[in-house]
Amino acid sequence: ETGVTQSPTHLIKTRGQQVTLRCSSQSGHNTVSWYQQALGQGPQFIFQYYREEENGRGNFPPRFSGLQFPNYSSELNVNALELDDSALYLCASSLDVANYGYTFGSGTRLTVV
Name the site residues for another protein (rule: CB under 8 A). Answer: 33, 35, 40-45, 48, 50, 55-56, 58, 90, 97-99, 101-107
Burial 50-76 (b: 16+ CB within 10 A, else e): beeeeeeeeebeeebbbebeeebbbbb
Nearer to another protein, 6 or 73 (CB): 6
Nearer to another protein, 16 or 56 (CB): 56
| In the complex, least distance from residue 57 CB atom to another protein, rounded to whole angstroms | 8
Nearer to another protein, 15 or 51 (CB): 51
Q: DSSP 3-state assignment of 90?
A: strand
Rg for the chain (alpha carbons), in Å? 13
